[in-house]
């Protein structure tokens, strides 16, 4: 074999081998599942070794420790406050109209507050989850959910939030926060027969099996699922 | 001159023979069902086996909607025999007759099936199969396929499968079942959200979308090796994959640039080029059987509608103009129609539109949701999900029947190509 050929062969092995490894292949007899992550045992072992206590601490370090303790407590307090702020940040979703992904005025209010907080905490990284109600096809809703997440992200960036701290994901209609009661199917039929979409004007229900209460329940369930949810992934 | 007249005579003969060969023209509307008698099968060894084979065959024939199966009460035969007295069958109005025999020898099952034309007194088909007792169902399906080929000129769909999404409270997995819903079983155990299964045109692989690694990526399952790999995983969405008819390319929706577009990728997941990159939502690509066109869903007009991209000219034309919410296109195997799911009076109904947009037919009417249609390989059936149940629509007579008997919700069915082993 010529020298060049050997070189090509070695290069091929060097490049192709990691590529082949990138795709995990697993053989499972009955159903197909993906390979589990690297065995945990090794990692745990490593932790227990370094975590062993050093006995016989030197005297005279007590004062220093108490100072450190104070700083620690201060830090913990700050962390506690931050955690509460994160919880309230994550608790507040923004909502969208049916089959739409533009930011509504009520959502804009929420986003302005969120943007201020994010700018005060430049270390915080967030994930915006786009969600949809169950009207329409799964595939279309995956795309719609991403549109919602993207327009939310754009809105935050326009308010001065660092783009690198905001990522998005779409869950389409796969993770509804509220599952509407079964009778909502009839309510939807009722509304559509009157040419109404979600977010409609007041409607008369006299002479039907539908009550205003039922309509409100369904409407609010659907509306709650047309949302973006916020998750703090790093702080 | 003489030569030409002989040629014409031959041609005439050939054409007329061709006509007589096809007993049932499935595409002709308003056909009467062909009366068929299934004589009691002879069982040697295990008496239950003959009955089982007979029941499976009867169900296969019922599925097609092309036959009226005569009641055994009118049969003049005193006891099961392989001999045929055609007169006895003519008298009760049978056009076709099936005789069968099962035999168990050394733990192996032998199945013999013969199809007769009663009026002509002819044997049309005779087959003998061997296998384990568990194989009996697939031997009968094999015969039913051969029988359909003799009678209609095209094999049936009795050796096909249907993939679908099975939803439990916390997760969605890909399942497989036979064409009739028999033996539903889990294909994936990802403990995650799995969506949109699509068959490879050879029937040995499936693509689907899963959140297994936290975001929607496209996975490939090899059915023979029972392996799953993450095939397409660009930043953002990787959803709604569809194999080209040749099986070497995949159309898929990606959003790696921030815009959602339909891309063409190769079998390794590498992008070849972008196909649709206009602003707005572009999802659910469906190939024409010749591979020259791609139907897809876009909201560029303000609401989801079906569009068709011509791959040679790169021109995009809107196909659907009726209704405000049309999704999930699927191209018929012959290429003449596209079936889709459209919102009408509060429910999703199935519609069939000529691929040039000239004719629209509504296929379903009742007050439930009919979604995610997929064609059978012979183009005579459509599988879809009806409010979370997998159902078959028989195009010949519009009959709808459920096939998969599972609790919970099942959605997004995808019909395999023929899987003759």
**Tokens 């997941």, residue located:** B269
Q: Are residues B236 and A193, on separate chains, in Cβ contact within 8 Å? A: no
Among the partner-chain residues B188, B304, B372, the one whose CB lies closest to the CB of A32 is B188
Say yes or no: B367 contacts chain A, CB-CB below 8 A: yes
Q: Are residues B281 and A147, on separate chains, in Cβ contact within 8 Å? A: yes
Question: Which has the higher per-residue pLDDT, A215 or B70?
Answer: B70
Q: Give tens-digit pLDDT for B293-308.
A: 999 999 999 889 999 9
For A191, which residue in chain B has the nearest alpha carbon? Answer: B346
With H, G, I as helix, E, B as strand and everything else as coil, classify residue B331: strand
> How many Cβ atoms are within 10 Å of B42's Cβ, its own excluded?
17
Say yes or no: A26 contacts chain B, CB-CB below 8 A: yes
Any idea where the domains of chain A sit in the sequence? 96-234
* Interface with B, mutate which of A35, A137, A152, A172 (most B CBs under 10 A): A137
With H, G, I as helix, E, B as strand and everything else as coil, classify residue B144: helix
Q: Complex ipTM, two decimals?
A: 0.80
The predicted structure's pLDDT at residue A61: 52
Assess whether pLDDT exceeds 80 at residue A7: no
Which chain B residues contact residue A174 at CB under 8 A?
172, 193, 195, 211
Q: Evaluate whether residue B327 is within a structural domain.
A: yes
The predicted structure's pLDDT at residue A49: 32
The predicted structure's pLDDT at residue A4: 56
Q: Give tens-digit pLDDT for B52-68.
A: 999 999 999 999 999 99
**Closest by alpha carbon to B196, among B239, B153, B249?**
B239
The two tokens of residue B110 are 């032998």
Confidence band (pLDDT; 50, 70, 90) for B326?
Answer: very high
Confidence band (pLDDT; 50, 70, 90) for B230?
Answer: very high
Same domain membership, residue B387 and residue B368:
yes
Q: Are residues A139 and B281, on separate chains, in Cβ contact within 8 Å? A: no
Distance from CA of B340 to the nearest CA of A (A): 11
The answer for B 131-190 residues in CB contact with A (under 8 A) is 172-173, 185-190
- How many residues belong to chain A? 235
Structural domain ending residue among the three candidates B108, B135, B152 = B152
Rounded to 5 degrees, φ, ψ at A121 are -120, 75
Which chain A residues contact residue B216 at CB under 8 A?
142, 170
Say yes or no: A25 contacts chain B, CB-CB below 8 A: yes
Q: Evaluate whether residue B19 is within a structural domain.
A: no
Structural domain ending residue among the three candidates B132, B152, B172 = B152
Distance from CA of A170 to the nearest CA of B (A): 8
Same domain membership, residue B335 and residue B221:
yes
Same domain membership, residue B402 and residue B307:
yes
Distance from CA of A132 to the nearest CA of B (A): 14
Among the partner-chain residues A32, A137, A169, the one whose CB lies closest to the CB of B221 is A32
Among the partner-chain residues A23, A150, A191, the one whose CB lies closest to the CB of B229 is A23
Tally of structural domains, chain B: 2
**Closest by alpha carbon to B386, among B374, B399, B368, B400?**
B368
Same domain membership, residue B280 and residue B197:
yes
Distance from CA of A38 to the nearest CA of B (A): 15
Q: Are residues B347 and A191, on separate chains, in Cβ contact within 8 Å? A: no
Which chain A residues contact residue B325 at CB under 8 A?
99, 135-136
Confidence band (pLDDT; 50, 70, 90) for A14?
Answer: very low
Structural domain ending residue among the three candidates B129, B152, B175 = B152
Query: What is the distance between the alpha carbons of residues B279 and B388, in angstroms, rounded to a whole number?
Result: 32
Report, as an integer, the average pLDDT of A122-131.
Answer: 96
Which chain B residues contact residue A27 at CB under 8 A?
225-227
Pairing of strands B67-69, B108-117: unpaired
Which chain A residues contact residue B172 at CB under 8 A?
174
* Interface with B, mutate which of A29, A37, A140, A170 (most B CBs under 10 A): A140
Same domain membership, residue B189 and residue B141:
no
C-beta separation of B230 from B212 below 8 A: yes
Distance from CA of B48 to the nearest CA of A (A): 30
| H or E element that contains B391 | strand B389-394
The rounded percent of chain B whose pLDDT value lies above 90 is 81
Query: What is the distance between the alpha carbons of residues B40 and B48, in angstroms, rounded to a whole number?
Result: 12
Among the partner-chain residues B172, B260, B372, the one whose CB lies closest to the CB of A143 is B260
Q: Are residues A26 and B253, on separate chains, in Cβ contact within 8 Å? A: no
The predicted structure's pLDDT at residue A58: 45
Same domain membership, residue B374 and residue B244:
yes
The predicted structure's pLDDT at residue A64: 63
The rounded percent of chain B whose pLDDT value lies above 70 is 94
* CA separation, residue B410 to residues A138, B398, B403 (Å): 13, 22, 11
Q: Give tens-digit pLDDT for B354-377.
A: 999 999 999 999 988 999 999 999
Assess whether pLDDT exceeds 80 at residue B51: yes
Confidence band (pLDDT; 50, 70, 90) for B23?
Answer: confident
C-beta separation of B153 from B21 below 8 A: yes
Q: Are residues A137 and B328, on separate chains, in Cβ contact within 8 Å? A: yes
The predicted structure's pLDDT at residue A21: 37
Rounded mean pLDDT of chain B?
Answer: 92
Q: Are residues B226 and A142, on separate chains, in Cβ contact within 8 Å? A: no
Q: Are residues A170 and B411, on separate chains, in Cβ contact within 8 Å? A: no
Among the partner-chain residues A136, A142, A170, the one whose CB lies closest to the CB of B325 is A136
CATH of A96-234, one of 3.30.1330.60, 3.40.50.1360, 3.30.565.10, 3.90.79.10: 3.30.1330.60
The parent domain of residue B81 ranges over 32-152
Assess whether pLDDT exceeds 80 at residue A165: yes
Same domain membership, residue B193 and residue B333:
yes
Rounded mean pLDDT of chain A?
Answer: 77
The predicted structure's pLDDT at residue A44: 35
The count of CB pairs under 8 A between chains A and B is 123
Say yes or no: B346 contacts chain A, CB-CB below 8 A: yes
The predicted structure's pLDDT at residue A66: 79
Say yes or no: B30 contacts chain A, CB-CB below 8 A: no
Question: What are the start-end ranges of the E strands in B58-193?
Answer: 67-69, 96-105, 108-117, 122-131, 161-167, 172-178, 185-186
Same domain membership, residue B168 and residue B119:
no
Q: Evaluate whether residue B16 is within a structural domain.
A: no
Among the partner-chain residues B189, B195, B236, the one whose CB lies closest to the CB of A138 is B195
Same domain membership, residue B223 and residue B326:
yes
Report, as an integer, the average pLDDT of B341-366.
Answer: 93
Which chain A residues contact residue B329 at CB under 8 A?
none
Report, as an integer, the average pLDDT of B222-238.
Answer: 95
Confidence band (pLDDT; 50, 70, 90) for A17?
Answer: very low
Q: Give tens-digit pLDDT for A91-106.
A: 999 999 988 999 999 9
Confidence band (pLDDT; 50, 70, 90) for A188?
Answer: confident
Write the CATH number for B114. 3.40.50.10070
Assess whether pLDDT exceeds 70 at residue A36: no
| H or E element that contains B149 | helix B136-152
Of A54-58, A138-142, B2-6, the one with minimum mean pLDDT is: A54-58
The predicted structure's pLDDT at residue A5: 58
Q: Are residues B297 and A191, on separate chains, in Cβ contact within 8 Å? A: no
The answer for B 384-403 residues in CB contact with A (under 8 A) is none
Q: Evaluate whether residue B250 is within a structural domain.
A: yes
The predicted structure's pLDDT at residue B159: 97
Question: Which has the higher per-residue pLDDT, A43 or B187?
Answer: B187
Distance from CA of B335 to the nearest CA of A (A): 23
Report, as an integer, the average pLDDT of B3-17.
Answer: 52
Same domain membership, residue B256 and residue B122:
no
Distance from CA of B187 to the nearest CA of A (A): 5
Q: Evaluate whether residue B17 is within a structural domain.
A: no
Q: Give tens-digit pLDDT for B135-159.
A: 999 999 999 999 999 999 999 999 9
Confidence band (pLDDT; 50, 70, 90) for B13?
Answer: very low
Say yes or no: B304 contacts chain A, CB-CB below 8 A: yes
Q: Give tens-digit pLDDT for B260-282.
A: 999 999 999 999 999 999 878 99
Query: What is the distance between the alpha carbons of residues B209 and B242, in angstroms, rounded to a whole number?
Result: 11
* CA separation, residue B263 to residues A17, B234, B348 (Å): 27, 11, 28
Q: Evaluate whether residue B11 is within a structural domain.
A: no
Q: How would you label B269-300 residue by residue, b for 16+ Cβ within 10 Å and e otherwise?
A: beeeeebbeeebbbbbbbbbbeeebbbbbbbb
Assess whether pLDDT exceeds 80 at residue B414: yes
The answer for A 128-157 residues in CB contact with B (under 8 A) is 135-140, 142-144, 146-147, 150
Assess whether pLDDT exceeds 50 at residue A56: no
Same domain membership, residue B400 and residue B274:
yes
Q: Are residues B239 and A33, on separate chains, in Cβ contact within 8 Å? A: no
Confidence band (pLDDT; 50, 70, 90) for A215?
Answer: confident
Confidence band (pLDDT; 50, 70, 90) for A230?
Answer: very high
For B285, which residue in chain A has the nearest alpha carbon? Answer: A139
Q: Are residues A138 and B283, on separate chains, in Cβ contact within 8 Å? A: no
Same domain membership, residue B272 and residue B402:
yes
């Amino acid at each position: 074999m010529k020298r060049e050929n050997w070189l090509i062969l070695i290069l091929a092995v060097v490049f192709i081998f990691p590529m082949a490894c990138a795709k995990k292949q697993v053989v499972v007899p009955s159903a197909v599942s993906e390979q589990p992550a690297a065995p945990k045992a090794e990692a745990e072992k490593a932790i227990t070794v370094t975590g062993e206590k050093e006995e016989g601490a030197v005297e005279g370090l007590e004062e220093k420790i108490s100072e450190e303790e104070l700083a620690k407590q201060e830090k913990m307090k700050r962390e506690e406050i931050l955690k509460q702020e994160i919880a309230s940040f994550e608790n507040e979703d923004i909502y969208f109209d049916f089959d739409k992904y533009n930011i509504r005025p009520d959502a804009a209010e929420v986003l302005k507050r969120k943007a201020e907080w994010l700018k005060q905490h430049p270390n915080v990284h967030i994930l915006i989850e786009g969600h949809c109600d169950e009207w329409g096809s799964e595939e279309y809703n995956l795309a719609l959910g991403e549109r919602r997440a993207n327009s939310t992200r754009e809105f935050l960036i326009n308010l001065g939030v660092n783009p690198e701290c905001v990522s998005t994901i779409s869950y389409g209609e796969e993770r509804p926060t509220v599952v509407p009661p079964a009778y909502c199917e009839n309510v939807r039929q009722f509304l559509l027969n009157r040419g109404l979409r979600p977010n409609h004007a007041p409607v008369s229900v006299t002479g039907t099996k539908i009550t205003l209460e039922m309509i409100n329940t369904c409407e609010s369930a659907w509306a709650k699922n047309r949302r973006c949810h916020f998750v703090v992934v790093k702080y | 001159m003489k030569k030409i007249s002989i040629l014409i005579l031959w041609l005439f003969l050939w054409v007329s023979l061709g006509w007589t060969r096809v007993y049932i023209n499935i595409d002709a509307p308003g056909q009467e069902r062909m009366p068929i008698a299934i004589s009691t099968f002879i069982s040697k060894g295990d008496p239950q086996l003959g009955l089982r084979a007979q029941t499976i065959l009867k169900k296969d024939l019922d599925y097609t909607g092309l036959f009226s199966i005569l009641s055994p009460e009118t049969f003049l035969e005193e006891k099961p025999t392989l001999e045929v007295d055609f007169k006895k069958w003519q008298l009760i109005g049978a056009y076709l007759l099936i005789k069968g025999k099962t035999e168990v020898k050394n733990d192996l099952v032998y199945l013999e099936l013969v199809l007769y034309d009663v009026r002509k007194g002819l044997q049309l088909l005779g087959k003998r199969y061997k296998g384990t007792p568990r194989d009996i169902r697939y031997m009968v399906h094999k015969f039913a396929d051969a029988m359909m080929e003799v009678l209609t000129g095209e094999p049936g769909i009795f050796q096909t499968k249907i993939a679908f999404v099975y939803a439990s409270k916390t997760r969605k997995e890909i399942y497989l079942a036979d064409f009739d819903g028999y033996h539903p079983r889990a294909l994936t155990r990802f403990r995650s959200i799995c969506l949109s299964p699509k068959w490879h045109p050879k029937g040995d692989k499936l693509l689907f979308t899963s959140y297994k690694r936290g975001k929607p990526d496209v996975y490939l399952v090899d059915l023979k090796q029972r392996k799953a790999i993450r095939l397409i995983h660009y930043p953002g969405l990787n959803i709604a994959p569809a194999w080209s008819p040749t099986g070497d390319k995949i159309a898929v929706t990606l959003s790696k640039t921030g815009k959602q577009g339909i891309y063409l990728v190769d079998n390794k997941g590498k992008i070849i080029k972008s196909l649709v990159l206009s602003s707005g939502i572009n999802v659910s690509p469906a190939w024409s059987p010749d591979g020259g066109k791609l139907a897809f869903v876009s909201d560029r007009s303000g609401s989801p509608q079906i569009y068709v991209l011509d791959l040679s000219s790169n021109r995009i034309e809107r196909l659907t103009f009726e209704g405000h919410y049309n999704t999930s296109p699927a191209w018929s195997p012959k290429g003449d129609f596209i079936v889709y799911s459209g919102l009408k009076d509060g429910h999703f109904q199935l519609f069939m539109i000529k691929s040039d947009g000239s004719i629209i037919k509504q296929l379903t009417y009742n007050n439930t949701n009919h979604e995610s249609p997929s064609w059978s390989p012979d183009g005579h059936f459509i599988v879809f999900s009806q409010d979370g149940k997998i159902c078959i629509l028989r195009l010949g007579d519009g009959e709808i029947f459920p096939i998969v008997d599972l609790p919970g919700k099942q959605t997004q069915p995808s019909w395999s190509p023929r899987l003759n082993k």
